Structure 1
Amino acid sequence: MTDSALSAQPFLQAPARVPEAPAAALPFALAYSRYLQRQAQAREGWAERVQAGAGHPIDVTWLSARFTELFDTKAVEVETALKRALRLLRNEVFGALVERDLSGAATLDEVTGTMTDLAEFAVRMAISVIGQELSALHGQPIGQSSGEVQELVVVGMGKLGGRELNVSSDIDLIFLYDDDGDTQGGPRPLSNHEYFTKLGRRLINALADVTEDGYVFRVDMRLRPNGDAGPLACSLGMLEEYFVVQGREWERYAWIKGRVITDPASPHAARVIQQLERVTGPFVFRRYLDYGVISAIRALHAQIRNEAAKRSNGANQQRDSTGHLQARSPNIKLGRGGIREIEFVAQVFQLIRGGQDFGLRVRPTLEVLRAASERGLIDAEAVARLTEAYRFLRQLEHRLQYIEDAQTHNLPGSPEDQLRVARMMGFDDYAALVTKLEAYQDEVAQHFDQTFSDKQDSQPPCAAVWHADLLDEEHTETARAQLAELGYANPDSVLERLRATRNSPRYRALSEVSRQRFDLLINRALDHASRQTDADVTIARFLDFFDAISRRSSYLSLLSEYPQAMERVAHTLHASRWAADYLTRHPQLLDELLDVEALSAEPDWPAFRARVRDRLQAASDHVEMQMDILRQEHHAETFRVLLQDLQGMLSVEHISDRLSDLADAVLDLTLETVWQQVTTRHREVPRFAVVAYGRLGGKELGYASDLDVIFLYDDDDERAPDVYASFARKLITWLTSHTAAGMLFDVDTRLRPNGAAGLMVTHFEAFRRYQMREGDNAAWVWEHQALTRARFCAGDAEIGERFEALRTAVLRQAREPGPLRDEIVAMRERVAEGHANPTGLFDLKHDRGGMVDIEFTVQFLVLLHSAAHAELTLNKGNIALLRMAGELGLIDATAAAQVADAYRDFRARQHKLRLDGQSVARVPVDTCADEAAHVRALWEQVFGPAQ
């Protein structure tokens, strides 16, 4: 069809619909593709055959059947027959896809998926046919160490790896084999390397050689190790060594989409895929949050955009977010706001977080964006807009290529082709298409610039304090004066710390880039600290923090790239010594400072469990990774509570509730995960429960509290005692071990029956008899005291219900007031003896009139009166139970209210002191004398005068 006739064609709405009775085969494809017009003219009946294929989606079964029809198995030149069959197949697939796409029958995913299937099918067929010829001549390649037959492993990179191949794309391939050795069984043996190199060359020729029938795919091998200078095929061992010694940053991006495309069903391929993941995984995905990729992608993209701008001939100049002139490139892939920018936005989440979150290790661009949105890393609305832009750009890309089957991404220059493309995209004219395109490009570019804009240029006013002259004694007075002007109380001490930092081996060992970032952050820290009331303390904490993170360039990158995170670091370091130490021990928590919404949101525990469970399942083959995931998630959630606490958003009770709920969730998730690691397990779901005592049992957990727990099971299988004992030991190991991500909890199990001398796990019936004092081995009074603050917290819910019923029954037993009083008073004396206070300060917890007195009073009231008042068995905490006892008339209601208020005040004071870094909570006596007096008065009312 001529260009002049094009304007007479019916306008294609998007998507268009296939006419009910088309006048001829391929009405849409032949209207717009000159390439397909030539095919139809050159091959009689070709359009009709293709029309038949266009009536349905093309799958691998159809490809195989059609190839069989086209491949002349009797041909003397088998490789020539292979080439012809693959090219004819490719032309039919191309024609059918163009027709299905332009008629509105095919989605973008179908088009890219079908082209990917065709590429994989062509590679496999070519290897099969050529491999048979080579094996007859050279024999089978045998692994030197394994003694097994080797196969060529073809890795698809780029859009082929991501199953996003466009209709006229080349394919990026890498050829691998897993073991060196030699071929055996043929008259002319070769080394495995020679054999696979020969097979690779003939494979490329079979796909890319241009014959009278065209080509199948252009093949690009430049992504292999050392590019064009490297061997065509390399062993996995060589690849691993290359990554370690020479692997470059841009190759990490390339390997994100790397995927084995040779037959995945073969046992050999399955083994090599696993080995390849072991080799490529650590290279592509850092184990820690890798914010260094932001500047690296920014630099790579600048090169790509500049190349695209050079090709644009300087049309439509405009300024980008950095103020630099940028050409509005006609290249919709590499130019401003193009496909590549969307891909980079998606990849940055993978490269930063993929080492810790296996769910981000997906390949298709839109799937990555969806995964990032599900994790709250990018706004859902932004993902929707980027997705819309991506689909538009990819569809436009295809329509540009349909015209001449050319690998182009440039908008056409001729008016005829401009109208042709506009009509294929569903627009009346080219101007309307360009207007829509530019709107999408502007939106994509804006989002890209927001993600990758350079935020490292600005220097704070105090930049002059930290410079090379700082080492020169002649400038001491100047530096001291500058620090004093900034508000530092002891400039000499601060200057000494700064010099020590600059002279430290860690600072001197930094790379040039890391040192520049470090210098920038030191200056910002001096500025931020100077605005605090205790600037000297804050800058000292900053320097300790920088010392801890200096070897991780990614953390320096994060703070350089996100100044708002630096501000929140300053607030955290200033507000609390404990918070400063916590952030210094767990610098990966810096990432949490970027999510403003999460810092103020209420926790969603079902969503937390679901998210962490998904991450744990994705890392099911990596035990150490699973342990790190649990720690990362626990630390992150704890840090969110801490930040809200420092902002005054939470009461002490709310903090304890959240930390207790978090511990419950982490225990549950750990139980699920560890059970799968027990090789001797005899059932799919364990009949096993965790019961919490102490602070966790009373939901009064603090930031660094131990977990007092016991383990119960209810399983009569003869293997159960040993299996659950092993399970409990492994569970404790998972909870208490130090990994690269830190530790979860200190765990104390001494409250189990018979204490440290008892079994690690207890059958529920044995526990029931022990608590009910049936038999010689019976619980002590102090163990029933402990039971007042116990609750089921994780594991089998049915066992949990039975425990709660047993707890109620134990607490409601009738007790004689005198003996009970004597037992508890004696226990209080033993506790006091173990916590002597040699200072003149008041110990909020252990001194008379302190928190232990309140807790023992409540426990006595619960044990003595629950038989008559069942509501006292509810585990509602000491404050609620005191008020309840006052309302029931068990103690004076006014005294109950006063002591409840005292308990809240003591806990708040204790909490503040812990945040200030004090492990023992002691205060001047006169600051809480009235509260302590109320507590002592209630003690005397209940127990009599203290001894």
Structure 2
Amino acid sequence: MRQPDLSIVPSSLHLLLNKQWERLNTAVPLVLDTLAEASITELTRVVIGSDYVVDQLVKFPELLHNLVATGVLDRAYQRHEYTELLLVVELAKVDSEASMMRLLRQFRQQEMVRLIWRDLTRKASMLDTTRELSWLADAIIEGTLSLLYEQGCERWGTPYGPADDAGAREAQRMVVLGMGKLGANELNLSSDIDLIFCFPENGDTAGARKTLSNQDFFIRLGQKLIQALDTLNADGFVFRVDMRLRPFGSASPLACSFAAMEHYYQDQGRDWERYAMIKARVVAGDKEQGSELLTLLRPFVYRKYIDFSAFESLREMKQMINREVRRKGLEYNVKLGSGGIREVEFIAQAFQLIRGGRDSRLQQRELRNILPLLPELVGMPEQAVDELMAAYTFLRNAEHAIQAVADKQTQELPKDDLGQARLAFSMGFDQWDTFINVLAQHRAAVSQHFADVIAPAQEQSEAESLQQTEWLALWNGQLSEEDALDVITDSGFDDPLRALKLLSDLKQSRTVQVLQHKGVERLKIVLPILLEMIAQVDNATQTLARVLLLIQAILRRSAYLVLLAENPAAMKQLVKLCSSSGWFSDQLAKKPVLLDELIDPRSLYSPPDKAQLGAELRQQLLRIPEEDTEQLMEALRYFKSAHLLRVAASDITGVLPLMRVSDYLTWLAEVILESVLDVAWRVMVEKHGSPMKQAGVPCELDFIVIGYGKLGGIELSYGSDLDLVFIHDSDANLSTNGDKSIANSVFFTRLGQRIIHILNTFTAGGQLYEVDMRLRPSGNSGLLVSSLKAFEEYQQKEAWTWEHQALVRTRVVAGSARLGAAFAQVRASILQQTREQDDLKKAVVEMREKMRTHLGTSAKEAETKHVFNLKQDLGGIVDIEFLVQYQVLAYAHLYPELYEFTDNIRILDVIEKVQLLPAEDADALREAYKAYRAAGHRLTLQEQSNVISESEMTECRALIARIWSSVMES
């Protein structure tokens, strides 16, 4: 008689092992004699860990031989294998309801033996086990439902939806949603299954003597399915079925229509149901219709905005669970106790609900897929995620080991010595104390990370709490006007009367008056903290006005108040930036979703380079269906707004110098233009086919976007529009190769129009960029898109001097590299032409005087307002630009390096190098240019025009005027 492998088992378990082995020897002695030593060692582990397996091996004597001989213990199953085993081997034998019940139970029990064996011997990982258990459940539910549906149609008739216009009706099938662990493919060894039954449309059955409504049919079908799976008889059960997660719970009909489902969740869905629906998956029935239902319900689960109210809900749910744990004494429950499985799940689900509407990567069911995303998406430390994954794996393995003993749905740690010794052994420990210490470490780590994520915002000091109590009393109207003014004055506000009026105006506003109770409470949490922070800045009253502008904008969607309440660091950044610039409060009031950007100072003050910008935008757009142009446009707008906010934050805090600010703003425009061109090209090709290069040869994006002005000169500012020119390189006499073929020239014109539409159109997210196309050949009267040949001919024969000046600051910003190189050659040929210098100088000066007259400060304004226009007045920015452009046009034929760069600073470097200007003059122009642009940026952020007092920057102006006179008027 073969003996168990006593060498791997602690002495405390020898008695149990001998009893289990004796049972097997009685039932399958010959099979034991044939087992290899490795199988004996594995079987030893299994019989220690599971009475259930021993019971099944004794009940089905052929089972042990089949498991070992067929090799199924040594490999994982794929999803389809469970379906094939059930349908081909088992359900084919069904000839009655009783035989179906028996075969389902035997099938489940035999597969469970294999799964428990592989789990206890660690031939399967925890993730393998949970995934296969879920596939097993899927196969059983699907197979059973199909059989019962056929029987139901024979008995009650086939359910049909309403007739279409032609009178045809479509047969209806039930949709079974798997919730919880089943939905997430994370089923445990003895889990019940949470299901929801629904069907596409109301209607009636046809084909039987008695007609039923579709709802009655599917209720009966659902009852039959539950009975087949859940009934406990002499053969056991298949799965315990829980239907309490359906709309209205146990009080509602067992099955409801899609319309009823959507109506319920939109109008009455509660927060905990959002958590539940994260894991919803169609496990059986009409998969296609079920997928459409989940798409309909997605907005209920995932909000489009950042929804920090999820933390409030989670805390309430956790408090409820904690009360239940204390009431029932569940402290030793590895799922519900402190630091248990549920807390790991809550951490993942919190971020899914907060950010899932904005980032589709979080719209996944499996926790193992969500946790690794958190470092990138929410800034959770890698170490924290590693600890959570390790703890989750350990806890789930412990849960399986507990349940494997008797196939019971429990997560309670055993309290008896034998039970503790068995669990420790199944988990790979020689002693209970060692196991419980490791368990305690994992639970402590989970508790800490759970507290870090879910715990309320940081506690306040006694002084802070007292001050905020005073602010709250002021807001609630509990102070006299005199006392209220004292509070505001003592806090440090520079204009207490105005500050009090600002607060009073907000309180009396219509928005606050009609605010729901939850919104009022959220405002009362945030406002005192904000007021205390605002009181610390120098321009407190002005900052208050700016911050309250934002508060007014977000009151109707008070989830943004929760975002601030949950993130005191974001409130600090908000106050800091609004104190420095009114531009920030204006941007945030228009687009409150940008508040999310304030949460992590690391990303707020660390703008990426162009390659990182491009990679980030591509990743965001990849998650949007290509055909959804509207969503693509909104994503582009959010991307631009978010990065504009970041660069402005870095600018006013001095993190980025001026030149880097312009670089960043220019890179931002370039990566957006590249994406817009890709989107527009794809849409046009899908509709009309590719334009043809020659007969049978399609074009490969033979199109470029040329940037002029600030974009071309890598000198964009915050409010800059884009001066663009579009050029293609195809035969205008050929057409596209699609079903709706159009001439190449028409194709490229429409491509240009689509690009402008995407950039220019105002949507809910605002406008990407205002586009100016007036610098194209012949201006507004010219073609929207020119061929490169036509562009060159125009520049050679018809262009004015000012158009050649504009060409100095041009470069390709998106499109074909090959065509871009050809354009560079054309540009070079134009700029290096030999020009009569007197004529050139005269043309440049005349254009400069015309601009100064029409766009600069008028004589009356200069006399009455004493102001200076940074850009257009004598000694301003345009004087520097025209000086540079003149030098390029006058001397590029001698010094080709003059047109190598398009930005004024580097061109001035070349001008100095080739000695067209003295070094001190070139340096003076560079420094003045940078000073003007820095002042322009500051004015934009203060929401002011490019006009300063005539007493400012007088030295710069005088220097530029002198150099202009010496060069252009000599």
Alignment of 1:363-402 (within 5 A): 363-402=365-404
Q: For 1:818-897, list aligned pairs within 5 A.
A: 818-837=838-857, 838=861, 839-897=865-923
Range with bigger deviation, 55-64 or 509-518: 55-64
1:706-764 CA-to-partner distances (Å, cap 9, x unmatched) read 11112222233413322232222222222222333332211112211221122222222
After TM superposition, list the pairs within 5 Å mapping 1:689-708 onto structure 2.
689-708=704-723
Residues in 2 aligned to 1:467 and 1:301: alpha-carbon distance in whole angstroms: 29
Residue 239 of structure 2 aligns to a residue whose secondary structure is: coil
User: 1:197: Cα distance to partner?
Assistant: 1.0
Contact 1:358-1:615 within 8 A present in 2 as well: no
Helix, strand or coil at the partner of 1:141: strand
Equivalent position SS for 1:262: strand
Which residues of 2 match residues 187-336 of structure 1 at below 5 A? 187-262=209-284, 269-273=287-291, 275-312=292-329, 329-336=331-338
How does 1:607-646 map onto structure 2 within 5 Å? 607-620=612-625, 622-646=628-652
**Residue 87 (structure 1) aligned with residue 100 (structure 2):** no
Task: Name the structure 1 match of 2:188.
Answer: 166
Structure-2 change in CA distance of 1:293 and 1:114 (3 Å): same
1:680 aligned residue: 687
SS of residue in 2 equivalent to 1:680: helix
Between 579-588 and 173-182, report the one with greater CA deviation: 579-588
Greater shift, 749-758 or 849-858, is seen at 749-758
* Distance of aligned partners of 1:182 and 1:642 in 2 relative to their CA distance in 1, 3 Å threshold: same
Deviates more, 1:461-470 or 1:534-543: 461-470
Q: In the alignment, is the contact (CA less than 8 A) between 1:360 and 1:372 conserved in 2?
A: no
3-state SS, counterpart of residue 261 of structure 1: strand
1:912 to 909, 933, 938: 938
Q: Shift of residue 23 of structure 1?
A: 3.5
CA distance in 2, matches of 1:191, 1:646: 67
C-alpha contact 1:356 1:629 (8 A) present in aligned 2: no
- Are 2:870 and 2:876, in contact at CA under 8 Å, matched by a contact in 1? yes
Work out the CA distance in 2 between the residues paired with 1:935 and 1:882. Answer: 14
Partner of 2:805: 785
Hey, what's the Cα distance between the residues in 1 that align with 2:969 and 2:19? 103
In structure 2, what is the equivalent of residue 555 of structure 1? Answer: 560
Counterpart contact for 1:26–1:47, Cα < 8 Å = no
Q: Does 1:755 align with 2:779?
A: yes
Please tell me whether the aligned partners of residues 899 and 907 of structure 2 are also in contact (alpha carbons under 8 angstroms): no
SS of the residue aligned with 1:231? coil
| Residue pair 1:253, 1:284 contacting (<8 A) in 2 also | yes
Task: Give how far 1:152 is off.
Answer: 0.6
Q: Out of 843-852 and 47-56, give the one that drifted further.
A: 47-56
User: Aligned in 2, Cα 1:215/1:691: closer, same or farther, shift over 3 Å?
Assistant: same
Aligned-partner Cα distance in 1 for 2:36–2:296: 52
Paired AA for residue 30 in structure 1: V
One-letter amino acid of the structure 2 residue matched with residue 786 of structure 1: A
CA 1:56–1:723: 2 relative to 1, 3 Å: same
- CA shift, 1:470, in A, is 5.6
Deviations 1:781-805 (A, max 9, x none): 2111111111111122222222222
The letter for the 2-side match of 1:944 is E
Contact map agreement 1:462 1:526 (CA 8 A) in 2: no
Change (3 A) 1:634 1:472: closer
Cα 1:348–1:673 shift into 2, 3 Å? farther
- Give the match for residue 794 of structure 2: 770
How far 1:467 moved relative to its partner? 4.2
Alpha carbons 1:466, 1:519 under 8 Å: kept? no
Within 5 Å, which residues of 2 pair with 1:484-503?
484-503=489-508
Partner SS, residue 413 of structure 1: coil
| Corresponding position of 2:605 | 600
Q: Which residue of 2 aligns with 1:326?
A: none
Q: 1:537 to 1:69 in 2, by over 3 A?
A: closer
**Structure 2: how far apart are the matches of 1:902 and 1:680?**
51
Does the C-alpha gap of structure 1 residues 129 and 230 become closer, same or farther in structure 2, counting only changes over 3 Å? same
Cα separation, 2, equivalents of 1:69 and 1:503? 72
Whether contact under 8 Å (2:607, 2:646) holds in the other structure is no
Q: Quickly say closer, same or farther: Cα 1:607–1:217, change in 2 above 3 A.
A: farther
Note if contact 1:72-1:81 (Cα within 8 Å) is conserved in structure 2. no
Q: CA shift at 1:75, angstroms?
A: 5.1
C-alpha separation in 2, matches of 1:456 and 1:681: 58
Once the two structures are overlaid, the 10-residue window that deviates more, 108-117 or 827-836, is 827-836
The 2-side partners of 1:257 and 1:536 are apart by 48
Structure 1 residue 836: deviation in Å? 3.5
Q: Aligned partners of 2:801, 2:609: CA distance in 1, in Å?
A: 39
Question: Which range moved further: 581-590 or 171-180?
Answer: 581-590
Q: How many pairs were matched up?
A: 912
How far apart in 2 are the matches of 1:856 and 1:140?
Answer: 82
What is the match of residue 817 of structure 2? 797
Q: Work out the CA distance in 1 between the residues paired with 2:886 and 2:745.
A: 35
Distance 1:374 1:442 in 2: 24
For 1:226 and 1:66, the matched residues in 2 are separated by 37
* Deviation readout 1:873-916 (Å, 9 max, x if unpaired): 12252122123212211122221111211111111122222222
Q: Provide the rounded CA distance (Å) in 2 between the counterparts of 1:761 and 1:505.
A: 50
2:152 corresponds to 1:134: yes
Q: 2 CA distance for matches of 1:110 and 1:242?
A: 36
| Cα-to-partner distance string for 1:73-101 (whole Å, 9 max, x where unaligned) | 46541x32222222111111111111112
Corresponding residue to 1:107 among 116, 125, 133: 125
Q: Residue by residue, what CA displacement relative to the aligned partner does 1:109-141 show, whole Å, maximum 9, x if unpaired? A: 211111111111011101111111111122221
Number of the residue aligned with 1:927: 952
| Structure 2 match to 1:149 | 171
Give the superposition deviation at 1:145. 4.7
CA distance in 2, matches of 1:358, 1:27: 46
Q: After the TM superposition, which of the residue ranges 737-746 and 171-180 deviates more from structure 2?
A: 737-746
Amino acid at match of 2:234: E
1:71 lines up with 2:90 in the alignment: yes
When residues 113 and 831 of structure 1 are mapped into structure 2, their CA distance, relative to the original with a 3 A threshold, is same
Q: Distance in 2 between matches of 1:847 and 1:753?
A: 28
CA distance in 2: counterparts of 1:369 and 1:471, whole angstroms:
42
Structure 2 gaps of 5+ residues are 5-11, 21-34, 691-698, 736-741
The structure 2 residue matched to 1:650, chosen from 648, 656, 672, is 656
TM-score where L is the length of structure 1: 0.93
Structure 1 residue 207 displacement after superposition: 1.2
Matched, 1:726 2:750: yes
CA distance in 1, matches of 2:818, 2:177: 50
How far did residue 30 of structure 1 move?
2.4
- Work out the CA distance in 1 between the residues paired with 2:788 and 2:99: 74
My pick for the range that moved more, 869-878 or 392-401, is: 869-878
Gaps of 5+ in 1: 11-17, 314-328
Q: In the aligned structure 2, how far is the partner of 1:65 from the partner of 1:574? A: 67
- What is the CA distance between 1:188 and its match in structure 2? 2.9
In structure 1, C-alpha distance between the alignment counterparts of 2:78 and 2:905, rounded to whole Å:
68
Larger displacement relative to structure 2 (303-312 or 558-567):
303-312
Aligned counterparts of 1:388 and 1:450: Cα–Cα separation in 2: 18
Mean Cα displacement is larger for which, 30-39 or 415-424? 30-39
- Shift in alpha-carbon separation, 1:239–1:474, aligned structure 2, 3 A: closer
Residues 277-302 of structure 1: per-residue CA shift (max 9 Å, x gap): 33211101111111111111111111
Find the aligned partners of 1:749 and 1:594 in 2 and give their Cα distance.
Answer: 38
Q: CA deviation at 1:445?
A: 0.7
Q: Find the partner of 1:424 among 420, 423, 426.
A: 426
Looking at structure 2, the residues matched to 244 and 68 of structure 1 have their Cα atoms a distance apart, in angstroms, of 38
Q: Point out the more displaced range, 840-849 or 884-893.
A: 884-893
Match of 1:534 in 2: 539
